[in-house]
Structure 1
Amino acid sequence: MTSADPERVIAIARSWIGTPYHDQASLRGVGCDCLGLARGVWREIVGPEPFPIPPYSRDWGETGPREVLADGARTMMIEVSLAKADPGALVLFRMMPRAIAKHVGILTGPDSFLHAYERLGVIEEPLTVSWRRRMAFAFLFPQR
């Protein structure tokens, strides 16, 4: 599987900046959450979503034996090590120690990323030490 052009991924992701936060939505300019942002970028880069996304919990402290989000991403994307996560990569964050990864962002530069955050909507911000230590998984979008 060949990965999509990272510059195209970043340009499409940036076109979502300013979209208001709306839990479990995925409509540019109208509303999305972090997964909805990734889903919207997927649709423009790859095409239709391969399966419907079931309802999911907003609990960032959720624990469990299975990394549901990472397992789902593995079925459709190209997993890379965090050390090889360059701009254009989709990154999953573990927001609390020992919790499963439940937040999604897209790297836009060596020290920046884009994500949808409650009350702020889709924003691009610095990839600070605090965000870096929460990174758990990284994936590349496949080429159409």
Structure 2
Amino acid sequence: MTGGRSLLEVVGTGICGERVVAVARGFIGTPYRHQGSLKGVGCDCLGLIRGVWRELYGVEPEVPAPYAPDWAERAGEERLLEAAGRHCGAALPLAALRPGDLLVFRWQDEAAAKHAGIATPEGRFIHAYEQAAVIESPLVPSWRRRIAGVFRFPELS
């Protein structure tokens, strides 16, 4: 939040997807670290999005409260989807997906969404994967069917 308004209200609507992808690709190889958000040091999936946001806009979108690995199962709230909506605007239809969009995933139909990544060209996406690091993976059907929301980063003024 910026002075009581979301960054979305301050900067506009939409950003060059190629720039988002380039920034996200700079995080590839960053080790997985729960609650981390630093390129080359460590990040989780939320930290990847926060780090990309900081590099694009120069500010933190919002600082999350500390969270346990099972935060979504315990809270039962759509915190990740709500935060994406606060900063990127309304979710887009999956058919509108383009490189540079923020993807939010739900592991199970009845569970809260708890994973995030950034769409890249040729049907791929970048995400922080606990067993690997920040990687670029194919957006295969098993990932695609778990998408709970597609969001576009706001345009820089």
Q: TM-score, normalised by structure 2?
A: 0.85
Please say if 1:130 is aligned against 2:142. yes
Whose strand proportion is higher, 1 or 2?
1
Superposition RMSD in Å: 1.7
- Write the distance in 2 (CA, Å) between the matches of 1:103 and 1:72: 13
Say if 1:3 and 1:140, in contact at 8 Å, map to a contact too.
yes
Q: Which runs of 5+ in 2 are unaligned?
A: 1-11
Q: 1:85 to 1:78 in 2, by over 3 A?
A: farther
1:97 to 109, 134, 142: 109
Q: Which runs of 5+ in 1 are unaligned?
A: none
Q: TM-score, normalised by structure 1?
A: 0.92
Please say if 1:116 is aligned against 2:116. no
- Write the distance in 1 (CA, Å) between the matches of 2:112 and 2:19: 29
Counting aligned pairs with the same residue, the percent is 51
User: Shift of the alpha carbon at 1:32?
Assistant: 0.3
Whose helix proportion is higher, 1 or 2?
2
- Write the distance in 2 (CA, Å) between the matches of 1:63 and 1:127: 28
Residues 41-92 of structure 1 show CA distances to partners (whole Å, capped at 9, x for unaligned) of: 0011122114321112322871765311111111111332222121110000
- 1:57-96 maps to which residues of 2 (within 5 A)? 57-59=68-70, 62=73, 66-79=77-90, 80-96=92-108
Say if 1:45 and 1:143, in contact at 8 Å, map to a contact too.
no
Say if 1:17 and 1:122, in contact at 8 Å, map to a contact too.
yes
Say if 1:20 and 1:121, in contact at 8 Å, map to a contact too.
yes
